[in-house]
Homo-oligomer: A and B are copies of this chain.
Amino acid sequence: MQGKTQLHYARQGIITEQMQCVANDEMLDVKYVRDEIAQGHLIIPANINHTNLKPIGIGEACRCKINANIGNSSVSSDMQSELAKLKVAIESGADAVMDLSTGPKIDEIRRSIIENSPVPVGTVPIYEAAEGVENIEDLTVDALFEVIEKHAKQGVDFITVHCGLLAAHVDLALKRTTGIVSRGGALMARWMQMNKAENPLYTHFDRLLEICRTYDMSLSLGDGLRPGSLADASDEAQFAELKTLGELTRRAWDAQVQVMVEGPGHIPFDQIEMNIKKQIELCDGAPFYVLGPLVTDIAAGHDHINSAIGGTMAAFCGASMLCYVTPTEHLALPGVDDVRAGVIAHKIAAHAADIARKRPGARQRDDELSRSRYALDWNRQFELLLDPKGARRIWESARDSSDACSMCGPKFCAMKTSQKIAAK
């Protein structure tokens, strides 16, 4: 299997086990799934060394997916906490996880996460590479690629690499209200500045593709210049990089490497549709993986809601995966409860968009829930809810002995009154 990607097989007309799995999961015809992969509009991030993976499809033809970022920082968290976050993320419905560790034991944490994760695992290799040097400018190209190859060997399914942030773009970003807010993007920009050189992930892009092809590790082309504020949304820097990402997408396809493209960020609600359309156009329909977008800058502490609002609109307009944002965004590293809150908020967003796009079967669960709600069948309701435990806890904390809840009490229960009317 070495060196043969899902994209390779699809182009050969071959249906793989992974494609069959995705087709079943999505209620789609497997040939359609294969054809979408062949065109680059759908990816199945499935590193040949991630042996316990249950593959998922990411693309407009599929249900919108959500990714949960976990990982430590130098200030906070250890291995057990990260595995606890992984568990909660998956239980709550995350379709993919990224290990964004920037603190101690990066390597060990990543190995454990891959070992314990049935969902695709993504990383941002520049973090580990940067951890290995005192100043980012001391990082050598070989050292960077060694880290990338190590991730690939370990079974990482997709990597975020900021290949499209060119030296010429940096000045555009420095004019902004919030400059460069992508950690990886800022590190690459600093490297280029201090070394007076072009982005090595761009100049050595073929070397990157070679590694990706060998392990069928998918590329997630990072948006190092995503806007970090509404003031910077849809600006020249953002779209200059996006144009480069479009070029790199086509080069990846030529090398049979699966690729998705990352997107913003902070975007006013009225500009979301335009942003998605522009990505689809510039990147020839490669799956779009967005962070948020956040539709206001003033919601820290509640940015999971902010992001779910923008994410619903983005997914409705064609984004294929939402990267969650948790309530601690802009303030602190998320803990286990924040991970749960972030995943659920974005499950709501992705699911709402699936319904709005009329994806196969998307509304079945809602319809069944509504029938059980009208029947006041609480146990069935809890089974069907996105957060059965949380909902049951609220209900039980306040209900009386009747089957109405404390919101209305039995006399004012509209469901009961409605049923009385119908019975007459």
Contacts and interface: CB of A to CB of B under 8 A. Distances in A.
Interface of A, helix, strand, loop or mixed by DSSP: helix
Interface residues of A, number: 109
B355 A295 contact: yes
Contacts of A301: 385-387, 390-391, 393-394
Interface in A117-176: 127, 130, 136, 170, 173-174
A173 B422 CA distance: 9
Contacts of A387: 299-302
A228 B370 contact: yes
Contacts of A397: 332
A398 B332 contact: yes
Nearest to A302: B344
Q: How many copies does the complex hold?
A: 2
B229 A366 contact: yes
A330 interface: yes
A89 to B, nearest CB: 16
Interface stretch (A182-190, A204-212, A242-250): A182-190
Interface in A390-424: 390-391, 393-395, 397-400, 405-415, 417-422, 424
A44 interface: no
Interface string A359-392: 0000101110111011000000100111100110
Contacts of A107: none
A180 interface: yes
A80 B350 CA distance: 40
Interface stretch (A3-11, A15-23, A69-77, A282-290): A69-77
Contact of A348 (B296, B363, B390, B394): B296
B394 A327 contact: yes
Contacts of A259: none
Q: Which 10 A/B pairs are nearest by Cβ-Cβ distance? A: A179-B418, A229-B370, A186-B417, A74-B409, A269-B356, A301-B391, A270-B356, A295-B352, A332-B398, A297-B366
Given A74-B409, A296-B351, 7 more contacts: A73-B409, A75-B400, A179-B419, A186-B414, A295-B355, A296-B355, A305-B305
